[in-house]
Amino acid sequence: MNAPLRRVAISVLVLFTLLIVNVNVIQVVRSEELRSDGRNTRVLAEEYDRERGSIVVAGTEIANSIPTDDRLTYLRQYDNGPVWAPVTGYYSLVYGNVQMERAANDVLSGTDDRLFVRRLADLFTGRDPSGGDVVLTMDPAVQETAMAGLEGVTGAVVALDPSTGAVLGMASTPTYDPNQLSSHEPAAIREYAAGLESLEIDPRLNRAIDARYSPGSIFKVVVSAAALSSGEYTSDTVIPAPRELVLPATSTPLENFGGSACDPSGRQSLLDALTVSCNTAFAQLGIDLGEDRVREMAEAFGITGEGFEIPLTVEGSTLGDIENDAQLGVSSIGQQDVQLTPLQAAMIASAVANDGTLMSPYLVDQVRAPDLSVIDQTDPEELGEPVSADVAGQLTEMMTSVVENGSGRRARIPGTTVAGKTGTAENAGPDHNWFIGFAPADDPQIAVAVFVANGGGTGGDVSAPIARDVMQAYLDGQGG
Amino acid sequence: MTSGPTTDPRAAAAGTATVPKRRGTELALLGFAVLITLVAQAIVDLTVTGSLTTELATFGLWFTALWAVAHLVVRRWAPYADPLLLPAVALLIGLGLSFIHRLDLAAQQAGSTVSREDAPVQLVWATLGLVLFVGVLLVLRDHRLLSRFAYTLALIGLVLLAIPAVLPASLSEVNGAKIWIRVAGFSIQPGEFAKICLTVFFAAYLVDKRDVLALASRRVIGLELPRGRDLGPVLVAWGLSILVLVFERDLGSSLLLFGIFVVMLYVATERASWLVIGLGLFAGGALIAYQLFGHVQQRVDSWLDPFEYYDGSGFQVAQALFGLGTGGLFGAGLGGGRPDQVPVAKSDFIAAAVGEELGLFGLVAVIIVYLVLVERGLRTSLIVRDAFGKLLAAGLSFAIAWQVFVVLGGVTGLLPLTGLTTPFLAYGGSSLVANFVLVALLVRISDAARRPAAPTGPPKPALGDAPTEVVQT
């Protein structure tokens, strides 16, 4: 019986080797994958043991961690939570983390490579490890004014510093209280989330960057830029502006807003066409320019269909497929399949304001170690130059006329010249209301985009006043 | 074979002092196992609660006394026993107790309403197990006596096996497996005892019948096939294991019993064809069970992809894998991980807790301790002189190996999950007590194996001695 016994002994060895190999695969090869799985709450629990860094705006912590007595040592709390929620996001036991809490997680949790030396020092000195701080570019007055302006409606506001790309404000409504989602009581968290989910629109969506909408007439700025850049047009060039435009190869007539004539003569200058936001003129202009030139200009402004990070993830804005001249005409007035995020709309205004140079938008100004020493400072970056300084000057002149004499009158600020463009976009529901603009027109300090979903009025009525308040709040703060 | 040599084996001990007994080695290794256990307990207390308690001293004294008694009993009544068996068991039980204590503390911290401490209970079970261990060594002076009760033990084994199947689910079902007897707050897994009873029976039965079962009828592709009429016993064992699978919904016990029988059949007859036949039968049975029964399908599905069934049947294994993956190479350290996130971590999934907190190195070390235990048992089987002892030692050792493989395989996703417990390590009274008896039998057989042959017996000392000299632990 000894021969089979030896074979049994060897088989046992093989079985155990199999176990050991399998354990090696799990604990070494798949270790990282299993450790970082979103459903593995071990790492999260470990994170809660560490003091998470703060999110700071203008010297004030809008998100910080305070010690508690319960098992998850630190509690995340948000000061003025609903106002900053679109940017901070939440840090939840149940739902993980989103927005800045996610994008800057490595810094906040202290695992970022730039904090490595510090971590090493913590290990030797026995100091409790903690995360680094993230200092945002945002301006409290802008953010608060924007959120107040959007109160009661669904919408978004984005404000940029045109010369750097720094995000000054990013509002989205309806909003929510991130404190409720970041508590240590899973049942309460789930209950609050269920309340949010039962709403028609989930407030946890940041409409400034997570969603795209038809831009309507604000897109005429891009078509104007394409026309002026072609060299065949100036702001004074007179273009056809009929009462009705029958689109090529269709029998569908395209009308102006309210069915009115843009000019009794049926022709008007490019400047006048933008001022009164003439649909027929811009549809024809787009068709005359051709798809390539319109698309190239849109891409130069950042409408490439590709998303990007600021470091929050921004949905890509797109023109959609344009199959024929009829669709090109409709696309040229910002309808058809043209879809922009409010951030993208603000980038258009910002590039015009910055003499044609588009700056890369960014939210994080500084990354600081727990001892407040700055370990990273963001340098503004150029994203491209969609238009020349000359074209930018002409566009500014045209957009100033919109606010001075046209549809954007309600964006006027006493004592300051404002440039802008309104948009009223048709969609399945009531019209979307847009306004993009910047101020002061001769020395732009702030560029904004205001979007109100299904506002039902016009961009000039609904969105322009919000833009005015936001710009004024910022300029007041800068001046005083 | 049941009659065996008639001489009293103890008579030999007096005459030959030349064979080393290695009791000193055993004592040193036991001391080492106890030391590791106490250090582990202290680390758990320090990291989780931040202070040492007086309970640790009580535990330390008790645990040390346990193994001191075991050692003295072996020294007196089984002086030639293998010196590695007991220390391996002590280390596994000690580690298990440390982890159960650690999980007790985690439950207390979580403010669990069930704040019952399981570690002291397990220590009581270990003590009871030790009493039985001593009892077996005292009462059973010669393992060959067991073969006289083979058929009685078979009956007992079958009854134990059948009880949970016929009991109502309220008294026998825990987490879907009907393998318990639950009376007055106590849960007993009779399958653990049935395993030993049936292994003794298999050994006695196969010693009787092996000559017949080894007869070959014809050769097919290099295999000597047995005669058709000899298929009876293997078919009975197969039927039994399928019944267990179906009525107790327990793949573990089913696999365990059938595996032990087939391997013992192979060892007894030296016919590899029995392995092939056994494997084929089990595969066929499992396939039919898979197609007929929903709970078997569910087990298999959640085994193939535990993450797909994360919110249901795959949750346990997924959590265990998270724990193991998070533990990585070195582990989170005793008290540093979150092994309490795996459901029933104390019993079925204690290996996941070991892997999470002691890392790959700790888990592999535990697997190697099992390997040492099993291979020492098989070595006993190799050198013991009588056929019954050989088969019994082989069966018992393989039972441990097979159970460890099936359980750890289940926890790590290598095999479908079963209701078996990790021997010695996991929380559970019946398993611990039964396995103490199993080890007592192995100690008894190994004592007979290494004991110099009685002067009146056939002179063949080289068989017992030569391998003993080689392994100088």
Write the pLDDT tens digit of every residue in B105-133.
888 876 655 557 889 999 999 999 999 99
Query: Which residues in chain A are closer than 8 Å to B379, comparing Cβ atoms?
Result: 9
Residue B211 lies in a domain: yes
Report yes or no on B463 lying in a domain.
Answer: no
pLDDT, tens only, A44-103? 677 777 788 999 999 999 999 988 877 677 899 999 999 999 999 999 888 888 999 999
Residue A329 makes CB contacts below 8 A (sequence gap 6+) with A245, A247, A248, A254, A283, A284, A286, A287
Chain A residues within 8 angstroms (CB to CB) of chain B:
1-6, 8-9, 12-13, 15-16, 18-20, 22-24, 26-28, 30-35, 37, 39-43, 45, 71
Provide the shortest C-alpha distance from residue A124 to chain B (in Å): 18
Q: Check whether B449 has a pLDDT greater than 70.
A: yes
Please report the pLDDT score of residue B185 as a whole number. 66
CA of A73 to nearest chain B CA: how many angstroms apart? 13
All residue ranges of chain A with pLDDT < 70 are 38, 44, 71, 123-128, 479-480
Give residue B455's pLDDT band: very low, low, confident or very high (50, 70, 90).
low
Q: What is the rounded average pLDDT for all residues in chain A? A: 91
* Res B139 pLDDT > 90: yes
B49-52 — which CB contacts under 8 Å span 24+ positions? B49/B105
Q: What is the pLDDT of residue B350?
A: 93
Which of B:300-329 have CB within 8 Å of A?
310, 318, 321-329
Work out the pLDDT band at B10, boundaries 50, 70, 90.
Answer: very low
Is this prediction's pTM over 0.95? no
The two three-digit tokens of residue B263, written as one number = 């391997």
Q: Which helix (H) or strand (E) holds A75?
A: strand A74-78
Residue B7 domain flag = no
The C-alpha angle A211, A214, A220, rounded to 5 degrees, equals: 130
Q: To the nearest whole angstrom, how far is the Cα of A480 from the nearest Cα of chain B?
A: 54
B172-191 mean pLDDT: 74
pLDDT at residue number B301: 86
In DSSP terms, A50 is beta-bridged to: none
Closest Cα partner for A452 from A419, A428, A425, A412?
A: A425
**Across the interface, do A27 and B263 touch by the CB < 8 Å criterion?**
no
Predicted pLDDT of residue A123: 65
Alpha helices in A290-409 (DSSP H): 291-300, 325-331, 342-353, 389-405
Q: In what order do the strands lie in the sheet with A446-452?
A: A167-173, A155-160, A446-452, A432-439, A419-425
Residue partners of B50: CB distance under 8 A and separation at least 6: none
**Cα(A182)–Cα(A188) distance, integer angstroms:** 10
Question: Is residue B11 in some structural domain?
Answer: no
CA atoms in the 13 A half-sphere facing the CB of B221: 3
Q: pLDDT value at position B91?
A: 97
Could you give the CA distance from residue B115 to residue B372 in angstroms, rounded to a whole number? 36
In this structure, is residue B13 part of a structural domain? Answer: no
Mean of pLDDT values over B377-392: 94
Whether A5 sits inside 8 A of B322 (CB atoms) is no
Q: Do B325 and A31 touch (CB under 8 A)?
A: yes
The alpha carbon of residue A27 is apart from the nearest alpha carbon of chain B, in Å, by: 5
Residue B461 lies in a domain: no
Q: What is the mean pLDDT of residues B226-247?
A: 74
Residue B465 lies in a domain: no
List the single residue in B381, B382, B414 with the smallest CB-CB distance to A19. Answer: B414
Catalytic site residues of A?
217
Tally A–B CB contacts below 8 A.
127
Q: Does the residue B66 lie in any domain?
A: yes
Residue B25 to residue B217: CA distance in whole angstroms: 50
Please give the structure tokens belonging to residue A264.
């009794």
The closest CB to that of B326, out of A4, A5, A34, belongs to A34
Q: Do B378 and A1 touch (CB under 8 A)?
A: no
- Average pLDDT on B353-371 reads 95
Pairwise CB contact (< 8 Å): A5 & B367: no
Task: Give me the number of domains chain B comprises.
Answer: 1
- Which residue in the set B110, B337, B364 is minimally distant from A23, CB to CB? B364
B326: containing domain: 21-450
pLDDT at A385: 96
CA A342 to chain centre: 6
Chain B residues with beta carbon closer than 8 angstroms to that of A50 = none
pLDDT of residue A309: 93
* Residues 248 through 287 of chain B touching chain A, CB cutoff 8 Å: 263, 266-268, 270
**ipTM value of the model?**
0.88
- Which residues 201-220 in chain B show a CB within 8 A of chain A? none
A42 to B338: CB separation less than 8 angstroms, yes or no: yes
